[in-house]
Amino acid sequence: MRKFTQHIGIAAPLDRANVDTDMIIPKQFLKSIKRAGFGPNLFDELRYLDEGQPDQDCAGRPLNKDFVLNKPRYLGTSVLLARENFGCGSSREHAPWALDDFGIRAIIAPSFADIFYNNCFKNGLLPIVLPEAQVDQLFKEVEATEGYQLTVDLERQVVVTPSGEEFAFEVDNFRKHCLLNGLDDIGLTLQHADEIKAYEARRRESAPWLFDAIK
Amino acid sequence: MAGKTLYDKLWDDHLVRQNEDGSALIYIDRQILHEVTSPQAFEGLRLAGRKPWRIDANLATPDHNVPTTERSAGVDKIEDPVSRIQVKTLDSNCDEFGITEFKMNDQRQGIVHVVGPEQGMTLPGTTVVCGDSHTSTHGAFGALAHGIGTSEVEHVLATQCLIAKKMKNMLVRVDGELGKGVTAKDVVLHIIGVIGTAGGTGYAIEFGGSAIRSISMEGRMTICNMAIEAGARVGLVAVDDTTIEYFRGRPYSPTGAQWDAAVEAWKELVSDEDARFDTLVEIKAEDIQPQVTWGTSPEMVAPVNALVPNPDAETDAVKADGIRRALQYMGLKADQKITDIQLDRVFIGSCTNSRIEDLRAAAEVVKGRKVAPTIKQALVVPGSGLVKAQAEAEGLDKVFVEAGLEWREPGCSMCLAMNPDKLGQGEHCASTSNRNFEGRQGFGGRTHLVSPAMAAAAAVTGHFVDVRELMQ
């Protein structure tokens, strides 16, 4: 997994609550059996005026000029500002894959849906929860200033605005450790293989009906 | 010391390792795999040279992409080439890794959340995961079940564990007696309307109270299925006799002495009298009416006899903006009657409402009636091949076809329109599924979530109607 330590990038405001994973990446693109290539279809129904199809070249499609990420001033956005309950809906990891492929590295919102939040960390993306008032302030600042950039420092757990103001955020120690070092979860878990085997042996004793039934 | 909640017990029973940083390793008894969220996980195993930790904990079936029209010609004849590749990839991955799969034309194939319990793969006291957020369904049986992402699917395949953090406990208690025509779907839509689409975020929700106890296993599955639409990854119902009876004689259920031992263990799967919940929500069953969603989030829901809300009456600016945006997308006016919403299509199916009881409820309403001429299509999609066979044995298929509904092969179908069943732009659909998000059932499509009986009533009248009026 790619490491995340510090990131500086252009911020864009996506001003709506409850952005669901169908909106982030519509279902027709989930038919891919790959992990990459979802970026051109990120927010497909908001970004384009027509209905997108898998494997289609998006270069010639009609753009919705009103959509925030299509505005020239937000070209190259890598920090997404969002509203409450971002990423609600399905468990599709295609949502963080699409954000990542598009170039988003961090998402700041007052709250995230659980599964989406978890999926981000598996892909080197950092979801940041800040209080609503602070998110509001960032929305106002980014809209007022062209070229507005935010610094996200995971080591220090702060978001830094261009004026130097810092907003502290919380993150699980384990997730932070994995992101900072780009660690693979499976490799880490397999270090505890003996404990898993010991648990499994106990489970086989206490609930033997859960073993060898499905074949 | 306070007693334990059902969730606490399930968590403790599966704890392999508690780390100092608050994260934990929990053991996974069961994983269900489908074609959409598994290919990258299998590919990950291959790239790392890993094998599944435990083959017999997994079961696979294709559901999201499969066509629901006649398909005896097999996977090679799936028209959409991308869907075809995805279904074939599941088949070849399961063959390669030795995982049991109910392939497309196996009678046991169906929607993962219908198939798991039906086979007795899901059992009380198990941990169940699947790369699908509606895995919360299985919590209806006192199982700790939730959706995971594809990286976690790979993690469970490789280690039989998940890295997890304990959730908070919420109890939603529904007491009293449900009115005639009010179903489990109305109960859960009402609950989502009360606590909101993010109200359960970070929680495992246990549904309890006398009304929940009186609901069948099918209904409890409907309720837990939509826990995720209230933001909770996990929904739970305590084990009782209804739960235990459900598993008698299922293919993967224990038998003989093991059945007796299992039943003894399952009886412990209730929250202790003195268990402490972080949040308690109390609902009176008598307050629940048949529900219809009018907007683009499941919390945008109202009783069928209510009016579409007016954003000007909402004081919260973000919420008012959300209502305005939803009304515009849905092509509705503030303060219009919900019963005046004209429909184009009807969909009865999905992991929320495609079980035998759902089909019976819908058939009872359409029996002797005809689909309204303004309805372009009314689909009935059973949740599995076995549900389909049961319905046909009861003659329900004939009732539907005589009334003008289409009787289909099992799959996820129009719930998320990954197969050819979808809405056209601007079309309104009365749907028994779980999500009314923009574009969910087709580009520009407008979804209204309802119970099977309400969907059936809408099919025969062409607009929403209080199903109780047709039941007199």
Task: Say if A172 is an interface residue toward chain B (CB within 8 Å).
Answer: yes
**A-B Cβ pairs (cutoff 8 Å, strict):** 203
Query: What pLDDT band is residue B224 in, cutting at 50, 70 and 90?
Result: very high
Average pLDDT of every residue of chain A = 97
Q: CB distance A113–B231 less than 8 Å?
A: yes
Closest chain B residue to the Cα of A88, Cα to Cα: B231
pLDDT surpassing 80 at residue B468: yes
Q: Is B94 annotated as a binding residue?
A: no
- Asked whether the beta carbons of B149 and B257 are under 8 A apart, the reply is no
Closest residue in B to A176 (Cα) is B21
Residue B318 pLDDT exceeds 90: no
- The secondary element (H helix, E strand) that includes residue B282 is strand B279-284
pLDDT at B1: 72
Instruction: Provide, as residue numbers in chain A, all residues whose Cβ is less than 8 Å from the Cβ of B319.
Output: 17
Q: The tokens of B37 are what?
A: 């969220």
Helix ranges (DSSP H) in B128-229: 150-159, 184-195, 210-213, 217-225
Q: Does B269 reach chain A within 8 Å, measured CB to CB? A: no
CB-based contact B112:B130 (threshold 8 Å): yes
User: What was the pLDDT predicted at A151?
Assistant: 98
In whole angstroms, how far apart are CA B247 and each of B58, B236, B240, B398?
A: 19, 17, 12, 29
Distance (Å, whole) CA B233 – CA B453: 27
pLDDT at B315 over 80: yes
Q: How far apart are the C-alpha atoms of B62 and B38, rounded to whole Å?
A: 10
Tens digit of each residue's pLDDT (9 = 90 or more) over B116-165: 999 999 999 999 999 999 999 999 999 999 999 999 999 999 999 999 99
Taking only the tens place, the pLDDT of each residue in A54-104 is 989 999 999 999 999 999 999 999 999 999 999 999 999 999 999 999 999
pLDDT > 70 fraction of chain A, expressed in percent and rounded: 100
Confidence grade of residue B71 (pLDDT, cut at 50, 70, 90): very high
Residue B395, pLDDT score: 98
Residue A138 has pLDDT above 90, yes or no: yes
Q: Would the annotation count B429 as a binding residue?
A: no
Given an 8 Å threshold on Cβ–Cβ distance, is B155 in contact with A185? yes
Residue with tokens 């059902």: B6
- Using the beta-carbon criterion (under 8 Å), do A195 and B43 form an inter-chain contact? no
- Interchain proximity B151–A119, CB inside 8 Å: yes
The answer on pLDDT for B472 being more than 80 is no
Encode burial over B48-60: b for 16+ CB neighbours within 10 A, e otherwise: eebebbbebbbbb
Summarize pLDDT for A21-64 with one digit per residue, the tens.
999 999 999 999 999 999 999 999 999 999 999 989 999 999 99
Question: Which residues, 6+ apart, have CB-to-CB distance to B416 below 8 Å?
Answer: A22, A27, A90, B64, B433, B435, B440, B441
- B-chain residue closest to A27, CA distance: B418
**Residue B379 confidence (pLDDT):** 98
B130 is in an annotated binding site: no
Annotate A77-107 with DSSP letters as a single string.
Answer: EEEEE--TTBTBS---THHHHHHHHHT--EE
What strand order describes the sheet that includes B377-380? Answer: B406-407, B377-380, B345-348, B428-431, B446-449
Nearest to B121 by CA among B268, B263, B251, B256: B251
Q: How far is B339 from chain A (nearest CA, A)?
A: 27
Rounded average pLDDT over B307-314? 97
Portion of chain B with pLDDT greater than 70, in percent: 100
| Over residues B113-117, mean pLDDT | 98
For residue B338, what is the DSSP state?
G
Contact assessment for residue B348 and residue B362, using Cβ atoms and an 8 Å cutoff: yes
Res A184: pLDDT: 86
Confirm whether pTM is higher than 0.80.
yes
